Structures are given as structure tokens and as C-alpha cells.
Structure 1
Amino acid sequence: MTAVHPSEQPAGVSETIAAGRILPVVVLDDARDAAPLGAALTAGGLRSVEVTFRTDAAADAIRVMSEDPDLFVGAGTVLTPAQVDEAVAAGARFIVSPGFSPRVVAHCQQVGVPVFPGAATPTEIQMAIDAGLDTVKFFPAGQLGGTTMIKALAAPFRSVRFIPTGGVNTDNLRDYLSLPAVLAVGGTWMVAPSLLAEGRWDDVTTLTAAAVTAAREI
């Protein structure tokens, strides 16, 4: 299993993701698309990417993208400790899960890989705090109340940072990133399945660059 370097512990990972403010959430059906996709994202100005374990190509895609020194690759939709091991072995530097799994969180901490579990309720956020975490994925953000809900949750949990994902787009990007409690947003519009299936890497770069510019203006 790949060792996690000290500079890649949670604080450093959070800072890296926060620097771009946008975390592309990628679903790849073919690992051969990983290299051109990674190049398109970095050309657009993003360094971090989350490759989801929703397809059989995920581990290979992470392995390919991790070879790019300019790309900071994590694994998403991680549901089991076994997937944690598979992701880390492939080169993932952080783990994202859609919900809070004590087993997944504990295993990530045991192997030394940063984890951002999903949290949608005060109870789940409290569980994350009890586990020593200060950053959670808020998913699915749009269906859970979006910025209004994040504001409500951030009031009692002042030390927690959120990565809202699900329903985030160019129309509401400013609303999310304007909230002090939001570390970054997870987005799919610059890596939409149709763009990847058609190999429209120039469009991925254009959309990524536009998103980066918009984020920096906030």
C-alpha cells in the first residue's frame, strides 16, 4: 500500500482543495480517458480531482491520473474499507464518501489517508467531530436545502467546513462559495458524462477555466 506523506495529511489536503475552491467529481467508464481528462483539467487551472468508484475503471483511472505531478487525485463514492485500500493502492491521496461510515472513517485513519465523509444532518456532523474530523461532504446539497441548510448547520458547528456537492452549477456557484463555512464545492458540469464520452477535452478545459475564474472573483 502506498504510504501517505506527512505533507498529505488532512490539513494539507484541505488547503490544496481549498486553493482551487472547485473539486471536479468525475465518473470515468474508460481509464484510457484519464490522461487526457487530467491534462484538460490542469490546463483549465484546477489541480484537484475526485474520481468516483462508480465504475470498474475507477482504480485504473486514479492510477493513471496520479502519475501527473500537477494533479492531486482523490477517490470518491468510497463505501467500504476494501475500496479504501484499493483507492490508496492506486494512488489516491484522499477519500470521499457519500455518507458517514464509522468503518470507512476509522480505516482511513488507520492507514493514514485523509477522509471527507458525507454528512447531511446535525447527528452526522457530530459523529464526524467525534471522529476528529473538521471537514465533511454535504451531499446531495441541492436536495438538502443548499446554502440555506449549510448556513443553519454552520451556526452551531462553527469549526466545521463543508464541501457541498450535488446540484452545484454556474448559476449558484457564487452563492455557495460566498459562505465562510464552505471550503470548496464539488461539481460535475465541467466533466459532464457527455463531454467525456465524446472526448471533448477542449470544452472541459474551457468550462474549467471559466469556473476557476468565477471562483476567484468571489
Structure 2
Amino acid sequence: MARETDRAALAAEVCTALKRCCPGSSAEPTGSLASGKADSFSDIDIAWVVPDARFPDCLARGVEALGEVRPLDSVRSDPDFHRSDRRRLLFARFAGVPLFWRLDLDVRTASVADDPLYDAGNPAARAREDEWSRPASALANAVGAVKAAARKREDEARGLLDRGFARISEDDRATGDWAADVTRLAHAAALRDSALTDLAAQVIELAARHLGGSSA
């Protein structure tokens, strides 16, 4: 089993790489890792503050820097901030680490570093429909639902699953049989994007391991 010390070390490597690739920036863990309350299901939350004038350049260099820390399986941008002029929220999956260890990288320029609501709800900051993947987002919800159900947060798990089904226009809802629910959502996402087939299989196996049921 992957150790929490390994996750903390990975977070530290990411912070070092980000600061090195963008002089004048700062990067530090946030959330449960920073507070010392992380459990075995916690992901890696990092806040990266970059100089305003170097925002586009730092974004490009940052993704390259992440790949130098460890090979990347995928990087997605939260559609709510995809076109923001001063903010991004990136979701990165590193190869060879637990699916729970997704990196959530909150990138902001120095001028809005202390404004958590900057561009929230701004239509001009949102991605166009062809700039993000609904199936990939739904599959991320499936992983989140495994976490929530394993933590006995059933309302949270239900909400994640229902939003995941809705995101891909799948006429389905959570039933409370969590492993089966996650499996259906993962299958539905992969049917809409065959590039997600391998990841969907990993998510189904994850649900079977932590929630019971079959991984078939």
C-alpha cells in the first residue's frame, strides 16, 4: 500500500519544481495535507501563486515541470476557470500512484492570490464546450464517490454520482449500492470516450476494492 509519507514527499517535489520553473512564484500544500488531517483517501492540494506578468508562461512551464517530477497520465483544467485571465484550477494524474492522489493545483496570479472568488461565476472565464471533457469529468466524480462512500459520507457520494450521470446525459442515478453505482458511471463515461477505457477499468477496480462488489 502507498504510504502517506510518499504522498507528502510527492507534494514537496511538486512545490519545488513549480517554484523552480517560475522564478518569483510560491507553491505550498493546502487542505488536509497542510492541516495534518489527511487520510488514506486524501488528494494533493497545492496553491501556486505566480507573477501577474508571467501567468501564461508559468502555466505552460508548470505542466512541463509536473511531468519532470513524475510522468503524467493526464492534466485537465476546471472548465469554470479555463479562460480566466488570472486563475486556473488544474487536475493532474501522475502515472504509477494511487488514483486518490490526484493533484489539484490552484494557480492564481499575485494580484488575486487572496481572492478565492475571483472569476467564480464569470461566464467569460468558462471553457467552451469543446475545451473540456464531460466524460473525463464524470469519471473524476466516480473516483470522488469512492472516496466519499469509503468515508461514510453517503450524501456526498450520492451527489457526486448523480452529477456525474447528469454531466454525460446518462439517465441514471445513485442507488446506494455504491460499487455498482460507480461501475455504471465508469462504464457510461468510457462508452462516450474510448480513450478513458483503461482509466474506467481502474476506477471500477478501485470501487470493488474499497466498497465491495465485483470488478467485472
Computing the radius of gyration from Cα coordinates, the structure with the larger value is: 2
Q: Same fold (TM over 0.5)?
A: no
Q: Which has the higher contact order (CA 8 A, sep 6+)?
A: 1
| TM-score (normalizing by structure 2) | 0.28
More helix by share: 2
